[in-house]
Structure 1
Amino acid sequence: MAENILTSEVLEPYAQALMSLGQSNDLVDRFGEDMANILDTLNASADLKTLVASPLAKADVKKAVLDQVFGDAIHPFTRNFLMLLVDRRRVMFLEGICQQYQKLLRKLKQAVLAEVTSTVELSDDQKNAIRSKVIAMTNANSVDIETKIDPELIGGVIIKVGSQVIDASLRGQLRRITLRLTSAT
């Protein structure tokens, strides 16, 4: 419940405002790239994530660090957006706003997100095969793939698209066999 309130009251309006700015300036895709870049950077740096989320860090320090980290790698409008988030004390929600923007972008482009969990990093051919299967399943125009590594799967993959889950992992197959064997006795 709290997550829905956060999404509707904070994340959605900022993501929607950025989307509107992108649409009016034909920068929707560029902002999408910027959001992906920001998310990747936040996920790669626990220190940056901590600084952004910290209510104790001063606004000018946050602005200086964000400007130094992202600089010319992001569009000037995106940089101004980050500074606005700092000024309005909403930068702690940066990760969620970026994710919400990406959801809006996928909806606009009739794309879906496939969350793929595997035991090892997937090759480009494997990602393309998954992409093709998900497109056939959902009739989407395109598929964004987000990968996670889980060595406990033993082998195979788990693909989650929206509320649908396809468990093609060895762990899942063993669980199904166990259920069949126990229900047969």
Structure 2
Amino acid sequence: MSGALLSMGIAEPYAQALMSVAQSQNLTEEFGASFRALESLLEQSQDFRDFVMNPIINEESKKSVLRQVMGNDTNPYLINFLMLLVDKRRIIFLEQIAGQYLELLRNLNQTVLAEVTASQELSESQTQAIIDRVKSMSNARDVEIKTSIDPEIIGGVIIKVGSQVVDASLRGQLRRISINLGS
């Protein structure tokens, strides 16, 4: 079994269990916001990522740091869940569990994730235009956008929704022109 499949096989039951608790306590959105913040922190802070993923660091240190990072306003159910992950030595799958939980939340809310690559930060009107386009493509009720910046696409955007990719970048247009000229 590959590492990614193993990670998903471990992450999915934990995410589903947490979703079950969240639904019964009407906390799905609150947990979603906490997991988005955690995902962002894991992406932006290599030190935090290395600390959480390091199997040598003792459990009490990890618990202490997680409590500090999550803050006093975090729901006790979510804190207890994170402490359980540390106790069960599953905290190394935190990123996958968070991603799986957010996917379950999107399914519950009939929301799709649009991964947008742009050459520069998008304006509000550009973001809204992408949301409208994705809604019409997917028939989703709502759209969650995850943006990354890549100056190499020169201009425009690349939008990925599930397995669909819309390449409206200048680099993609130039590539298509060169292919057409070559034939």
Q: Please give the TM-score of this superposition, normalised by the length of structure 2.
A: 0.96
Aligned to 1:94: 94
Runs ≥4 residues deviating over 3 A? none
* TM-align CA RMSD: 1.0
Q: Which residue of 2 aligns with 1:106?
A: 106
Alignment of 1:18-167 (within 5 A): 18-167=18-167
Residues of 2 paired with 1:62 and 1:36: CA distance? Answer: 19
d(CA) in 2 for partners of 1:95, 1:5:
14
Percent identity of equivalent pairs:
53
Inter-partner Cα distance in structure 2 for 1:111 and 1:137: 12
SS in structure 1 at match of 2:157: strand
The structural deviation recorded for 1:75 is 1.6
What is residue 14 of structure 1 aligned with on the other side?
A: 14
Displacement of 1:37: 1.2
Give the length in aligned residue pairs.
Answer: 182
User: Does 2:177 match 1:177?
Assistant: yes
Question: Which structure 2 segments of 5+ residues have no match?
Answer: none
Structure 1: distance between partners of 2:45 and 2:182 = 46
TM superposition shift of 1:45: 1.3
> Could you tell me how far 1:128 is from its partner in structure 2?
1.0
Deviations 1:137-171 (A, max 9, x none): 11100000000111100111000000000000000
2 CA distance for matches of 1:38 and 1:23?
Answer: 20
